[in-house]
Amino acid sequence: MKCTKRIIFHIDVNSAYLSWTAVDKLQHGENIDLREFPSAVGGDPLSRHGIILAKSIPAKKYNIQTGESIFSAKQKCPELIIVPPRYELYIRCSNALVDILKEYTPVIQRFSVDECFLDFTNMENIYDDPVVLANTIKDRVKKELGFTVNIGISSNKLLAKVASDFKKPDRVHTLFPNEISKKMWPLPVEDLFMVGRATAPKLHKLNIFTIGDLANYDINILKEKLKSHGLMIWNYANGIEDSKVKKSNFINMKGMGNSTTTSFDIEDRKTAHMVLLSLCETIGMRLRNSHNCCKLVSVSIKDSNFFHSSKQRKFYCATDSTNSIAKDAYELFDELWQGKPIRHLGVSVSELCSNEFNQLSLFQTKISDKEKALDTAIDSIRMKYGSNSIVRAAFLHSGVKPVNGGVSTDDYPPMSSIL
């Protein structure tokens, strides 16, 4: 019986949000390519706070980190160019990438908005050299879409993803089992999946500083110290992982959130509701684009004294309606707010389920169908012409952005949840 050798690609867009924004600006007449300057995608630079969502390669020279505050990043690099996140643009670019990938294999798993796994197992009669194929795909994406990708090639998803994170940008790398000791083991142990901020110090105390140290450590001690997590990361360090590439047309998510720090203190209920609605606009579009409904919504508040509070509620029926999510967000806010000035508001949804068969309550009317049609029409316009191409009249002259927030990596599950 023939032993099949798996061939898995992991495709990762280089500095995705920044690259997509740069390409869009160039296509609309900009003379500056953001990718060639210290630049980043983040919150509104005029607000007091916001975080870096993505950065250009030149920005890395200033040690600017994804997730740090814009204030901190500007201190490191005063000339840093900040551009706001644009969810509808990211989805358009992501879909364009996947459309190209579908021409090469039907087995594609969208890991996040800027990452995909592709399975080319049993396709050696079509593609005899995976490295040549990967370079063909990489070059075609660059030529037709204007942005670059890294492609990692291996016999499983874990190693393919590690390979795609090697030297960037616009590169193809392999990491097959016989290359692990040379290419992966010298890397810092923090570079391994599921070795986060909490785990790394524990490993350091065991004199584990590289992935190789972990791979060759006594498994019994790891299990004693870190329980099942120790066994899992030991397997990962040794390249052991055998999950399938799960064919999917849409990004699998456990939940999604959106928040904003306003450039002014919110002191009245009406303004707070407006900000919540602007956050729900983005969340609703994300839900519908991912073909999901949510069963739970939560609201969080941070006041001017940095006191944080939150409250959540389950929906009677799962929904992807912007109005329904906003309505419950208002009610949660009213129950939660103590009247103190607010500097930060957040809305998140979870307990997601497919919207393919969305059962309605007996108490719901034809208004639901009308809202669904309206949401679909608005999404279509925004995806084509931009998030501010159509706005609610309530936002006119309000001083509140009609659509708030971009894309956070928190929207997507950790690697362990898909392997």
pLDDT tens digits, one per residue of 384-404: 777 778 888 888 888 788 887
Choose between 141 and 355: higher pLDDT: 141
Residue 412 clears pLDDT 60, i.e. is over it: no
Residue 329 clears pLDDT 60, i.e. is over it: yes
Choose between 249 and 116: higher pLDDT: 116
Residue 356 clears pLDDT 80, i.e. is over it: no
Choose between 172 and 398: higher pLDDT: 172
The pLDDT confidence band at residue 147, using thresholds 50, 70 and 90, is very high
Q: What angle do CA 235, 246, 255 make, to 5 degrees?
A: 90
Please write the tens of the pLDDT for every residue from 62-88.
999 888 888 899 999 999 999 988 888
- According to DSSP, the residues that pair with 150 across neighbouring strands are 12
Q: Which of 313-317, 353-357, 358-362 has the highest mean pLDDT?
A: 313-317
At residue 233, the pLDDT reads: 96
Question: Which tokens in the block code for residue 187?
Answer: 């890397």
The pLDDT confidence band at residue 249, using thresholds 50, 70 and 90, is low
Greatest distance between any 2 Cα atoms in the chain: 72
At residue 416, the pLDDT reads: 39
Residue 58 clears pLDDT 80, i.e. is over it: yes
Q: Which of 172-181, 274-283, 351-360 has the highest mean pLDDT?
A: 172-181
Q: Is residue 214 within 8 Å of 203, Cβ to Cβ?
A: yes
Residue 44 clears pLDDT 90, i.e. is over it: no
The pLDDT confidence band at residue 160, using thresholds 50, 70 and 90, is very high
The reply to whether 115 belongs to the active site is yes
Residue 175 clears pLDDT 90, i.e. is over it: yes
At residue 370, the pLDDT reads: 79
At residue 400, the pLDDT reads: 83
Residue 376 clears pLDDT 80, i.e. is over it: yes
The pLDDT confidence band at residue 288, using thresholds 50, 70 and 90, is confident
Residue 334 clears pLDDT 90, i.e. is over it: yes
At residue 362, the pLDDT reads: 45
C-alpha torsion 156→158→164→166, nearest 10: -120
Please write the tens of the pLDDT for every residue from 85-138.
888 888 889 999 999 999 999 999 988 889 999 999 999 899 999 999 999 999
Mean pLDDT of the chain: 87
% of the chain residues with pLDDT over 90 = 60
The pLDDT confidence band at residue 405, using thresholds 50, 70 and 90, is low
Residue 418 clears pLDDT 50, i.e. is over it: no
Sheet holding 39-42, edge to edge: 52-55, 39-42, 81-83
Q: Which of the residues 30, 36, 68, 115 is marked catalytic? A: 115
Please write the tens of the pLDDT for every residue from 192-241.
988 988 899 999 999 999 999 999 999 999 999 999 999 999 999 999 99
Complete domains list, the chain, with CATH: 1-180 (3.30.70.270), 185-238 (1.10.150.20), 255-416 (3.30.1490.100)
At residue 406, the pLDDT reads: 54
At residue 365, the pLDDT reads: 47
Count of beta carbons in the 10 Å neighbourhood of residue 79: 9
Choose between 68 and 406: higher pLDDT: 68
% of the chain residues with pLDDT over 70 = 89
